[in-house]
Protein backbone atom coordinates (compact mmCIF):
# COMPACT_ATOMS: atom_id res chain seq x y z
CA UNK A 1 0.00 0.00 0.00
CA UNK A 2 2.83 2.38 0.83
CA UNK A 3 4.42 1.88 -2.60
CA UNK A 4 1.23 2.75 -4.48
CA UNK A 5 0.94 5.99 -2.51
CA UNK A 6 4.43 7.05 -3.66
CA UNK A 7 4.06 6.36 -7.37
CA UNK A 8 1.74 9.28 -8.18
CA UNK A 9 4.01 11.65 -6.27
CA UNK A 10 7.02 10.65 -8.35
CA UNK A 11 4.98 11.08 -11.50
CA UNK A 12 3.77 14.47 -10.34
CA UNK A 13 7.32 15.63 -9.63
CA UNK A 14 8.51 14.42 -13.05
CA UNK A 15 5.61 16.19 -14.74
CA UNK A 16 6.26 19.40 -12.80
CA UNK A 17 9.94 19.34 -13.83
CA UNK A 18 9.04 18.58 -17.45
CA UNK A 19 6.53 21.44 -17.63
CA UNK A 20 9.13 23.78 -16.13
CA UNK A 21 11.71 22.84 -18.82
CA UNK A 22 9.15 23.17 -21.62
CA UNK A 23 7.96 26.57 -20.35
CA UNK A 24 11.55 27.81 -20.04
CA UNK A 25 12.35 26.62 -23.57
CA UNK A 26 9.20 28.25 -24.95
CA UNK A 27 9.91 31.56 -23.21
CA UNK A 28 13.51 31.55 -24.44
CA UNK A 29 12.47 30.72 -28.02
CA UNK A 30 9.75 33.38 -28.18
CA UNK A 31 12.04 36.09 -26.78
CA UNK A 32 14.87 35.07 -29.13
CA UNK A 33 12.61 35.20 -32.17
CA UNK A 34 11.23 38.62 -31.23
CA UNK A 35 14.71 40.07 -30.65
CA UNK A 36 16.74 38.40 -33.42
CA UNK A 37 14.62 37.13 -36.29
CA UNK A 38 12.84 39.98 -38.08
CA UNK A 39 9.98 38.82 -40.26
CA UNK A 40 9.37 35.69 -38.17
CA UNK A 41 6.73 35.77 -35.47
CA UNK A 42 5.35 33.30 -32.98
CA UNK A 43 2.64 33.18 -30.36
CA UNK A 44 3.45 31.55 -27.04
CA UNK A 45 2.11 28.03 -27.24
CA UNK A 46 -0.03 26.56 -24.52
CA UNK A 47 -0.39 22.85 -23.95
CA UNK A 48 2.21 21.76 -26.49
CA UNK A 49 5.95 21.57 -26.89
CA UNK A 50 5.77 22.60 -30.55
CA UNK A 51 6.29 26.18 -31.76
CA UNK A 52 4.39 27.37 -34.81
CA UNK A 53 6.63 29.95 -36.49
CA UNK A 54 4.97 32.37 -38.92
CA UNK A 55 7.62 33.02 -41.57
CA UNK A 56 5.35 34.80 -44.09
CA UNK A 57 6.94 38.26 -43.90
CA UNK A 58 10.43 36.78 -43.83
CA UNK A 59 9.79 34.61 -46.88
CA UNK A 60 8.29 37.52 -48.79
CA UNK A 61 11.10 39.94 -48.01
CA UNK A 62 13.79 37.39 -48.96
CA UNK A 63 11.96 35.97 -51.98
CA UNK A 64 12.11 32.45 -50.55
CA UNK A 65 9.69 29.58 -50.51
CA UNK A 66 8.87 27.78 -47.29
CA UNK A 67 10.58 24.69 -48.70
CA UNK A 68 13.81 26.64 -49.30
CA UNK A 69 13.85 27.99 -45.75
CA UNK A 70 13.06 24.55 -44.34
CA UNK A 71 15.92 23.06 -46.38
CA UNK A 72 18.37 25.71 -45.11
CA UNK A 73 17.36 24.95 -41.53
CA UNK A 74 17.96 21.23 -42.01
CA UNK A 75 21.34 21.93 -43.68
CA UNK A 76 22.65 23.52 -40.47
CA UNK A 77 21.10 20.88 -38.22
CA UNK A 78 17.91 22.69 -37.16
CA UNK A 79 15.03 20.23 -37.45
CA UNK A 80 11.79 21.88 -38.53
CA UNK A 81 8.63 20.74 -40.28
CA UNK A 82 6.40 22.77 -42.53
CA UNK A 83 3.07 23.72 -41.00
CA UNK A 84 0.96 23.11 -44.10
CA UNK A 85 -0.73 20.09 -42.51
CA UNK A 86 -2.03 22.53 -39.88
CA UNK A 87 -3.14 25.18 -42.41
CA UNK A 88 0.02 27.24 -41.91
CA UNK A 89 1.08 27.80 -45.50
CA UNK A 90 4.01 30.01 -44.42
CA UNK A 91 4.66 28.37 -41.05
CA UNK A 92 7.34 26.07 -39.69
CA UNK A 93 6.91 23.81 -36.68
CA UNK A 94 9.75 23.38 -34.19
CA UNK A 95 9.96 20.88 -31.35
CA UNK A 96 11.06 22.34 -28.00
CA UNK A 97 11.00 19.09 -26.00
CA UNK A 98 14.75 18.87 -25.51
CA UNK A 99 17.40 20.28 -23.18
CA UNK A 100 17.58 24.08 -23.18
CA UNK A 101 21.19 24.01 -24.38
CA UNK A 102 20.04 22.30 -27.59
CA UNK A 103 17.22 24.84 -28.05
CA UNK A 104 19.73 27.69 -27.64
CA UNK A 105 22.09 26.05 -30.14
CA UNK A 106 19.29 25.62 -32.68
CA UNK A 107 18.27 29.27 -32.44
CA UNK A 108 21.86 30.47 -32.84
CA UNK A 109 22.01 28.42 -36.06
CA UNK A 110 18.66 29.86 -37.17
CA UNK A 111 19.93 33.37 -36.48
CA UNK A 112 22.97 32.60 -38.63
CA UNK A 113 20.74 31.56 -41.53
CA UNK A 114 18.73 34.77 -41.24
CA UNK A 115 21.84 36.97 -41.06
CA UNK A 116 23.32 35.32 -44.17
CA UNK A 117 20.07 35.71 -46.07
CA UNK A 118 19.73 39.36 -44.98
CA UNK A 119 23.31 40.12 -46.07
CA UNK A 120 22.65 38.46 -49.43
CA UNK A 121 19.42 40.44 -49.78
CA UNK A 122 21.16 43.73 -48.91
CA UNK A 123 23.96 43.06 -51.39
CA UNK A 124 21.36 42.92 -54.17
CA UNK A 125 19.72 46.22 -53.28
CA UNK A 126 20.76 49.55 -54.72
CA UNK A 127 22.41 51.93 -52.26
CA UNK A 128 19.17 53.93 -51.85
CA UNK A 129 17.14 50.75 -51.34
CA UNK A 130 19.67 49.47 -48.80
CA UNK A 131 19.46 52.68 -46.76
CA UNK A 132 15.65 52.53 -46.72
CA UNK A 133 15.67 48.86 -45.68
CA UNK A 134 18.27 49.41 -42.94
CA UNK A 135 16.52 52.45 -41.52
CA UNK A 136 13.21 50.57 -41.46
CA UNK A 137 14.91 47.60 -39.78
CA UNK A 138 16.60 49.90 -37.22
CA UNK A 139 13.26 51.56 -36.47
CA UNK A 140 11.61 48.20 -35.78
CA UNK A 141 14.45 47.10 -33.49
CA UNK A 142 14.16 50.21 -31.28
CA UNK A 143 10.40 49.92 -30.74
Over residues 76-111, the pLDDT tens digits come to 778 889 999 999 999 999 888 888 888 888 888 877
Share of the chain above pLDDT 90, in %: 26
Please report the DSSP string for the chain in residue order: -HHHHHHHHHHHHHHHHHHHHHHHHHHHHHHHHHHH-TT-B-PPPSS-SEEEEE-HHHHHHHT--HHHHHHHHHHTT---EESGGGT-TTEEEEE--S-HHHHHHHHHHHHHHHHHHHHHHHHHS-HHHHHHHHHHHHHHHH-
Mean pLDDT of the chain: 77
Give pLDDT tens digits for 17-43. Answer: 888 999 999 999 999 889 888 899 998
pTM tops 0.85: no
Q: Is the pLDDT of residue 142 over 60?
A: no
Amino acid sequence: MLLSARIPRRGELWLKELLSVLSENRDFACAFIEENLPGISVMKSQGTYMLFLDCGKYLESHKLSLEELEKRCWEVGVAVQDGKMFHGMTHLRMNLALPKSRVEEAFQETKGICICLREDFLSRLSLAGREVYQSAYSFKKTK
